[in-house]
Amino acid sequence: MEKNSIFKYTIEDLENILSENGFNKFAAKQIYDWIYVKLENDFNNMTNLSKGLREFLIENYTAQPLKDLVVKESTDGTIKILFMLDDKRTIETVLMPQKYGQSVCVTTQVGCKMACKFCASGLIKTERNLETDEIVRQIFTMNKLLKDKYSYDPENPRARVSHIVVMGIGEPMDNFDNVMKFVNIVNDQKGFQIGARHITISTCGVVPKIKQFADLKTQVNLAISLHAPNNEVRNQMMPINRAFPIEKLIDSVKYYIEVTNRRITFEYILIDNVNDLPEHALELSKLIRGINGYVNLIPYNEVEENPYKQSTKIEQFFKILKKQGINAIVRKEFGADIDAACGQLRAKREGVIGNEI
């Protein structure tokens, strides 16, 4: 009999399963504590559960971390792991040490059908969505790594994942239901206790899902991968823009802000002589002026098989935005020496870019 991963269930799901099988539903909170607080993945060791419940869990469920194939650690402390899923497919997860704690960038799909021209993720075709448990297990496995690295201390912000960015391989809004269930699980106060405001979901611009996300009225942050100030440039860089052009995307952003009253982030990768000219900065300023948000300027992490190069005009672009009254920051680069950009490690292992590993 195929066993289900325990990581796919909310605490309410577990309560219902236990109740339906003759167990006290209170045990769901105990199971959550063992898994998400104590990071215990062996049901035999969950000693405050009855023997009958432990046998039930062993017979029907698994709680295994993901299997790592490649682990790379940068000189800046960034750790990138190539994980193997149960069906032998591979995904990437990145841990980025911050002043405020540990941030993890999670993957939501095997491959990415958005096919953004500058991104390594789209070099390998989309094979499937990740299930909820496969996204949750990325955080669980990274927490296990941190526990080993820092010696477990719940008071030490370095010893546990504190922030999540859903910006890895895949388009999160293309796997909406599994991503939102993942958010509910990692946000649960009986579990990882990662605050909604410490979670950011990024999208290339799937307009209907942005509006659906807005209607949920969560406290989860939203980031828009904009990367261009007009349709002409964005069409060249991001095929999704042909389905949802900038005008529709900006309308959905305004709808999100109106419904949620929350600030939004515009992600903008600066690529040399493609989207980084002074006129692009002025056009971007005009496009988003009056919107409650800010621009996150990102130095491009070059991919061998793509012709794009990192901009040499980042500071100039930033100054123009500031002069135009636009809130902007320049994102710190993480893991440039370990292929930390989206999809690079997986694409190298598959032999799609560079030398196979």
| Those residues with Cβ within 8 angstroms of residue 177's Cβ, 6 or more apart along the chain or in another chain | none
- 105 annotated binding-site participant: no
Whether 353 has a pLDDT exceeding 60, the answer reads: no
For residues 44 and 35, what is the distance between their CA atoms, to the nearest angstrom? 12
pTM beyond 0.85: the answer is yes
Helix axes 176-187, 132-150, angle to 10 degrees: 40
Q: Answer with the residue of higher pLDDT: 63 or 98.
A: 63
- 130 annotated binding-site participant: no
What confidence category does residue 352 fall into, taking pLDDT thresholds of 50, 70 and 90?
very low
In the chain, pLDDT over 90 holds for what percent of residues?
80
- 202 annotated binding-site participant: yes
Tokens of 126: 């989309």
Percentages helix, strand, coil for the chain (3-state, rounded to 5) are 40, 20, 40
> Strand, coil or helix: what is 136?
helix
- 235 annotated binding-site participant: no
154 vs 60, 100, 328, CA distance in Å?
30, 15, 34
CATH fold of 4-62, please? DNA polymerase; domain 1 (1.10.150)
Query: What is the CATH code for 67-330?
Result: 3.20.20.70
- 301 annotated binding-site participant: yes
Locate CATH 3.20.20.70 in the chain.
67-330
Q: Which residues participate in catalysis according to the annotation?
A: 92, 342
270 closest CA partner among 325, 222, 333, 221: 333
Whether 333 has a pLDDT exceeding 80, the answer reads: no
Residue 106's pLDDT is: 98
pLDDT tens-digit readout, 4-42 = 999 999 999 999 999 999 999 999 999 999 999 999 999
pLDDT tens-digit readout, 170-209 = 999 999 999 999 999 999 999 999 999 999 999 999 999 9
Locate CATH 1.10.150.530 in the chain.
4-62
Please classify residue 37 by burial: count the beta carbons closer than 10 Å to its beta carbon, then call 0-12 exposed, 13-18 middle and 19+ buried.
Answer: middle
- 77 annotated binding-site participant: no
Residue 77's pLDDT is: 87
Strand ranges in the chain using DSSP code E only, listed in sequence order: 4-5, 61-62, 67-73, 79-84, 90-98, 101-105, 109-110, 128-129, 161-166, 199-203, 221-225, 264-270, 293-299, 328-330
Q: Stretch 321-338: mean pLDDT, rounded?
A: 85
- 112 annotated binding-site participant: yes
